[in-house]
Chains A and B, each alone.
Chain A
Amino acid sequence: MAARTRYAPDRGLTARMTATMFLLGLVFVAFVAAIVGIGAAAHASDAAIVFFAVVLGGGVAIASLFYSDKIALATAGAREVTPQQAPELHGVVDRLCALADMPKPRVAIADTDMPNAFATGRNANHAVLCVTTGLLRRLDRDELEGVISHEMSHVAHRDVQVMTVASLLAIIAAVLMRVAFYSELFGGGRRSNNNQNAALVMLAVMAVSIIVYAISFLLIRLLSRYRELAADRSGALLTGQPSALKSALIKVSGDIARIPTRDLRAAEPLNAFFFAPAVSLRGGPSLSTIFSTHPSLERRLAELDKVQRQLGQVAR
């Protein structure tokens, strides 16, 4: 394509994300090596425990990926809406899909006053996009479009799949940690010959699992923050309006978001229990408030400033 482009990739972000994923891979290799090393010194029964942890952890991860849309919708208490029920919202999604040449995700609305949105689903064809009524009330059309384009970028980047694969290691390590702990508690008495040896092996497995879990947990959070920045960037490039996304972020993440918009008499009594970042929606990246999985507001605004400058430049 000979056309000039003003949509150059952000090299710094790419480099940091690559480094994070490389480190995750490194931890994974070290983990496998450590477990294999320990397993070689141990009995068949211990190898079976490791195998069990891998199968169980992998199964949980695949199941949560496969049912991510249903799980997330149920957790958020969201219901799917038809174009007749929410014509404006569907209109915004329609146009963004046409602009980005993406299949249209299903659209859902969750009835809570917390301004939030998320997109999930195992692939673009099974994606579901959910916004809360609090978000719809607070944002104007341009800001809403900014938030939706951010969420659609998550779908385009396949963030649910990438993060599932990235968390696989942490899940397996967590399962192994538990299994080793319980077999240490209850299994010790049944061993007759090298009781001492087996106990040591289980302790080693537990120690390795704990370390791996801690490191991979931090790396996953880091990766998640980079992917949020990437989605901000792609979303702003798609609509061409970084400032709309910026003002949406300020409204959603700032203190303003804690001030309710719904009339006191109409608010359900339950809403009193919602605290600022109360809705923790696992299984899908979300444009939420202050979350450790999300970069700080200042950081996100600074990155969007870069996009703004880039769009204003003369094409190269």
Chain B
Amino acid sequence: MGFLDTLLGRTKPVQPKLDDLFALPSAAVTLEAGAGFRPTGSGSVCFRAVEGRSFADVQRDVQELLDVSAGKEGGLPVEVTKDSYGFTWLVSSRMSSELDALVTDLHAVNSALAEAGFGPQLLCTLVAFRDDQERRLGLVYLYKRGTFYPFAPTGGERRDNALELQVKGVIGTDLKFEPDLSRWFPVWGAPGL
């Protein structure tokens, strides 16, 4: 925020950074080779819905768009859930081999919201992974920072920090990881994870 904005008490809503999302498929290959985690095929976009007709229209359009593209390829329709914090999650479920298509889906949601001027409402995107021991792992993309971080819930409100740091090490520079560990905020009970 600039000096003048501070002085006048204005905040410019932070616009999301969208393009880094496409680094996911290649990072997933590295992750599978290095740690044995495979994509489950489900991913979700989390945003804060704005009250009023305008936002509702945009959200409906996005949903229809994704349903049509999933329907053509025999996929499942998009699932919409609202979590206990009042945030909306659009969950897209694909085959586990279709990570490219999943990322394209997620990006379609982002760009549709940003296009309609609701970019600042985007919170994060989550892509789910699992290994042979059924350990859960999510790679979370923070729109406002344009960075990723791993999130590994272990049941209850606990997370496996060692696994998270290991995943960060395995993927290395394939993804832009969030350097500030205090921003690796948990998303307990995230749909699709």
Interface residues, chain A, with chain B CB atoms under 8 Å away? 1, 3-7, 9, 13-14, 17-18, 21, 87, 91-92, 94-95, 97-101, 103-104, 141-142, 145, 153, 156-159, 162, 226-227, 230-231, 234, 237-243, 308, 311-316
Contact = CB atoms under 8 A, between A and B. Distances in A.
A101 B121 contact: no
B136 interface: no
A243 B145 CA distance: 28
Residue in B12, B86, B145 whose Cβ sees the most chain A Cβ within 10 Å: B86
Interface string B1-24: 100001111111111000000000
B86 to A, nearest CB: 5
A100 B144 contact: yes
Contact of B50 (A92, A98, A311): A311
Nearest to A5: B117
Interface string B31-47: 00000000000000000
B84 interface: yes
Given A103-B182, A312-B53, A98 B123 contact: yes
Contacts, number: 128
B87 A157 contact: no
Contact of A99 (B117, B144, B182, B188): B144
Interface string B81-95: 000111100000000
A156 B14 CA distance: 12
- The interface centre, meaning the residue of A17, A101, A230, A241 with most chain B CB atoms within 10 A of its CB, is A101
A241 B47 CA distance: 13
A311 B183 contact: no
Contacts of B48: 95, 99, 239-241
B41 to A, nearest CB: 25
Most buried by A among B12, B50, B124: B50
A240 B124 contact: no
Interface of B: 1, 6-15, 48-55, 84-87, 114-121, 123-124, 142, 144-145, 157, 180, 182-183, 185-186, 188
Nearest to A6: B117
Nearest to A310: B52
Could you say which of B10, B54, B185 has the most chain A C-beta atoms within 10 Å of its C-beta? B10
Nearest to A104: B182
A128 to B, nearest CB: 15
Nearest to A231: B9
A156 B1 contact: yes
A45 to B, nearest CB: 38
5 contacts: A5-B13, A13-B9, A95-B48, A241-B86, A313-B54
Top 10 A-B pairs, shortest CB-CB distance: A230-B9, A315-B117, A240-B50, A312-B52, A101-B144, A94-B185, A234-B11, A157-B9, A4-B117, A101-B14
A240 B185 contact: no
A4 B58 CA distance: 14
Contacts of A145: 85-86
Nearest to B124: A98
A99 B123 contact: yes
B127 to A, nearest CB: 17
Given A5-B117, A101-B145, A238-B11, 19 more contacts: A6-B117, A7-B13, A14-B8, A17-B8, A91-B85, A95-B48, A95-B87, A98-B142, A141-B84, A141-B86, A142-B86, A153-B11, A162-B6, A226-B9, A237-B120, A238-B120, A311-B54, A314-B54, A315-B116
